[in-house]
Each structure stands twice: as structure tokens, then as C-alpha cells.
Amino acid sequence: MQRYTVRYLVACTLLAVVGLAGHALTRRQPQGHVKPPDWAHTLPRHVGGWTGQDIAPDKEVADYLAADALLVRRYTREGRVVDVTAVFGTRWRALHSPAGCYPSQGWQIQERSEIEIAPLGPLPHPGPLHAEKLVVKQADRHLLVLYLYAHPGGTTASWVQQCLKVTSSRGASGGIVLIVNAEFTPQTESKVEADARQLVSLIYPYLVKHWYEH
């Protein structure tokens, strides 16, 4: 029990440090210093046989995140559906962790693991993509969630590492959270995961291109 208590206190201390750094960053950061990406126009609606349609984000979620850019898009292909959420922020609060969000909405985490996703094309930085996989359940619904954090120069599956990257850069570049999720049944789980991995690989280069165009 003592071992887990120590781990918990260490984790809380790290999050507190990140939060204080993020708060200081928000106070120092002049408004308009960072130009947010225009994903509605730069993220393709037709990619790899998928067709996307933008969805208005939940107002309460958008207000809470206070993100500089937020896009929610539903991609479909041959009757299959995958939802994509992209968040860009210069404040640490916008860089939220889906591992905390889903349980707060009544989902139970069944599986959580760090994964690597191989790119389908050239990346603007060394690969592979570092992400996290969640399998959550609510009543008889099962949801597969893949997400990653992006910063100039790479990706991480760790919320703490991402916040430290963003705060150490003094907010000059901001950070991104990419979340890809889809419902599945025990019979379709492997296919749904393959679809989600493919969309992450296809979308990622467009998601971060504003960092590497200059």
C-alpha cells in the first residue's frame, strides 16, 4: 500500500508543477502570439477512401478546454464510422487526457496501453508515432480510443511529458491532442483498431504541417 501511496504523491506533485507552470505561461503569453492551425481547411475531408463531415463540438467541452483550435469530424467508409477530435492549445488545460475524460463521463476503462503507430507516408520528424490505446465500456457499448500528443519535433503518449514540452517552449508553438475513436463489438474489434490506426497515420502529417512549413 505504501508503494502505491508514494507513486500517487509523486504523480500529484508532477501534475501540480505542470499546472503551476501552465498557469504562469498563460499569464506571460500575449494574446495572438501563436496563430492556431485552420484544420477545417487544411485537414482533408477525403483521405484513404474515408469521407469526413465536421460536427459542432459540445459547447461545455469547448468552453472548458478553452482551446485555440478545436475540430470534431466524423469519417465514414463503407458503412464504418470513426470520429476524430483534434485540439490545439498554448495553455496546459487544453491538453487534456482522454484517460481521465471517459471515466468522468461514465465509461469504465477495460484496457490501457502505450502503442506505436507506423506512418503510411513521410513524417516531418523521426517516427514512429507514440500513442496510447484505451478500451472503454458503458453498459453494452464498447469504444476503442487511440490518442497521441504532438509537439514540434515528435509525439508522446504521456500527458505530463506533453505539458512539460509546451511549458518549456514558453508557449511559442503550443501542443496538439489527436483523439480517434469508434464503437466496436467483440467480432469487429481488430478491424476497428486497424481503421483507427490508419486514420491516425493519414491525418497526422496534415495536423502538424503548420509547425514545419516555414
**CA pair distance 157, 166, nearest whole angstrom:** 14
What number is the average pLDDT over the span 43-47? 96
Q: What is the pLDDT of residues 158-200, one digit of tens each?
A: 998 888 888 776 556 889 999 999 999 999 999 999 999 999 9
Q: What is the pLDDT of residues 114-123, one digit of tens each?
A: 999 999 889 9
Look at residue 169 in the predicted model and tell me its pLDDT.
Answer: 66
Please check the confidence at residue 46 and state whether its pLDDT lies above 60: yes
**Chain-wide mean pLDDT for the chain?**
83
Look at residue 145 in the predicted model and tell me its pLDDT.
Answer: 98
Q: Enter the C-alpha cell of residue 57.
A: 463540438
What number is the average pLDDT over the span 5-13? 33
Of 124 and 26, which is predicted with more confidence? 124
Q: What is the pLDDT of residues 127-166, one digit of tens each?
A: 999 999 999 999 999 999 999 999 999 999 999 888 888 8
The values of phi and psi at residue 16, to 5°, are -65, -40
Please check the confidence at residue 211 and state whether its pLDDT lies above 60: yes
Contact, 154 vs 161, CB < 8 A?
no
Q: Where are the domains of the chain?
A: 2-211
**CA pair distance 11, 100, nearest whole angstrom:** 14
pLDDT-based confidence at residue 126 (cuts at 50, 70, 90):
very high
Look at residue 214 in the predicted model and tell me its pLDDT.
Answer: 66
Please check the confidence at residue 76 and state whether its pLDDT lies above 90: yes
Look at residue 21 in the predicted model and tell me its pLDDT.
Answer: 42
The full DSSP string for 36-99 is PP-HHHHS-SEETTEEEEE-PPPHHHHHHHT-SEEEEEEEEETTEEEEEEEEEESSGGGS--HH
**Least confident among 33-47, 99-113, 121-135, 167-181:** 167-181
